[in-house]
Structure 1
Amino acid sequence: MSGSKLKIDIISDVVCPWCVIGIKHLKEAVVKNNWQEQVEVEWYPFELNPDMPTEGENLRDHLARKYGASKEESEQNRQRLIDVGKSVGFDFNFDDESRIYNTRQCHILLDYAHSIGLQTQLKIALFSAYFTEGRNISDTEVLLEIGESVGLEAAEMLAYLNDSSEHDKVDVIEEQWREMGISGVPTIVFNNEQGLTGAQSVESYEEMLRHYLATKAE
């Protein structure tokens, strides 16, 4: 990528629904203004539940345990996400059996995908696999299938997943974000300077992009 491009760092987790909304709004802001060739996006890990077991946990039970959400609150939040998702062209599918999973292996594969220019493609595929199809994204075989669907090599993916240094790398990056005061996702950082946390509006992203692109042009 050219050094003249605006760097956009997206700190997120694969099981964060508002990360989906955030990236959809950001993409709309970019496409609307024909800025595609002026920006460079990189995704960074932030595990919301690093201690989540591989088999995961029932999503409603998880929200009740972690946030104290009642059944009624969970249903309202789900419907809100479904409605917002439809407005940006994304299908959130929830039911009583929906689960939340450990995402460590997802972040390791996203690092590999970045090295060959397929990171955003993999991230979007993981979002769809989890939220739309309800797949277990902590299962290695499922991840290999998703990765291959966007052009990743199975042998290379397994090498990354079995490399302890890749696990350590995720820990280091996540700790760096926490030391910088980041505790929620999505957090989108522009030009290594200013970040917006939460799924902001298209207009908010436009304003930030316009400001930094103008600065780049000076």
Structure 2
Amino acid sequence: MTTLSIDIVSDIACPWCAIGFGRLQKALEASPDIQAEISWRAFELNPDPDAVSEPIGPALAKKYNMNEQQVDETQQQMKDAATSLGINFDKMESRYTCNTFDAHRLLKWSAQFDKQTPLKLALFDAYFGHAQSVDQQEVLLNCVDSAGLDRDQAMAVLKSDDYAKAVRDEEKLWQQAGITSVPAFVINQKYLISGAQEADALEKALSDIAIKESV
């Protein structure tokens, strides 16, 4: 058994990050000789806290210089990929852009309880499955409940500046390391796997790394 540390640099607002993790899970299920220690690392696609929330379709068209048909095709491609992995993307076309900084603060807080992954998955489900704005306090607290975390403690975090510096420092660290797009999987702080690669490709990459690390 080889244990690999996997830092997943991602944002809640990134659909390929949800898909990428689903594919990673599939790859790990097919790799019984590999044990993964997963940590979620912060990255913001929409870092401006004062930005006006917009419907996702027009926002993506403007950001990536696409027409409406191209946006719809891309959204459908992601929905199909998510569905094949059992991930709920039912309302992804209805979502609005939003800032995820507070969600990342809660993810940092949840690490001490070993609840980062349940919270991250609850946030993905809220945003893509139900088109809920994950910058809203009630939505965040409902995700905390879903992850089995203490709602009152989470409220205290949201009302404070706790973990704000930790999130900003983490974002800066990974940007300085050259990560400009997500998801990014950093294995044992040495190997980078970029993007939401297919499960087979991830399985092979992890296997190759495990062999190198066991020598």
Which TM-score tier does this pair reach, normalised by the shorter chain?
A: over 0.9
Q: Residue 59 of structure 1 corresponds to which residue in structure 2?
A: 56
Matches within 5 A, 1:112-191: 112-191=109-188
Unpaired segments ≥5 residues, structure 2 = none
Q: 1:54 to 1:136 in 2, by over 3 A?
A: farther
Q: Distance in 2 between matches of 1:55 and 1:35?
A: 47
Q: Where does residue 30 of structure 1 map in the other structure?
A: 28
For this pair of structures, how many residues does the alignment match?
214
In structure 2, do the counterparts of structure 1 residues 16 and 192 end up closer, same or farther at CA, with 3 Å as the change threshold?
Answer: same
Give the direction of change, closer, same or farther, for the CA distance of 1:27–1:186 in structure 2 (3 Å limit).
Answer: same
Q: Which moved more, 1:92-101 or 1:106-115?
A: 92-101
**% identity of equivalent residues:** 33
Distance 1:149 1:59 in 2: 25
Aligned with 1:9 (options 4, 7, 10): 7
- Alignment check: 8 A CA contact 2:109 2:163 kept: no
Name which of structure 1's ranges 117-126 and 50-59 shifts more when overlaid on structure 2.
Answer: 50-59
Q: How far did 1:35 drift? A: 4.3
Q: Structure 1: how far apart are the matches of 2:182 and 2:79? A: 19
- Among 66, 71, 85, the alignment partner of 1:69 is 66
d(CA) in 2 for partners of 1:112 and 1:201? 31
Superposed counterparts of 1:91-110, under 5 Å: 91-94=88-91, 97-110=94-107
TM-score, normalised to structure 2, is 0.92
Aligned partner of 2:39 among 28, 38, 42: 42
Question: Could you tell me which of 196, 210, 214 is aligned with 1:213?
Answer: 210
Shift of 1:103: 0.5
Shift in Å, 1:194: 1.2
Provide the secondary structure at the position in 2 that maps to 1:78. Answer: helix
- Stretches of structure 1 lacking an aligned partner (at least 5 in a row): none
Distance 1:150 1:162 in 2: 20
The answer on whether the counterparts of 2:95 and 2:128 sit within 8 Å (CA) in structure 1 is no
Shift of 1:212: 2.5
Is the 1:54–1:138 Cα contact (8 Å) retained in structure 2?
no
Contact 2:95 2:127 in 1 (8 A): no
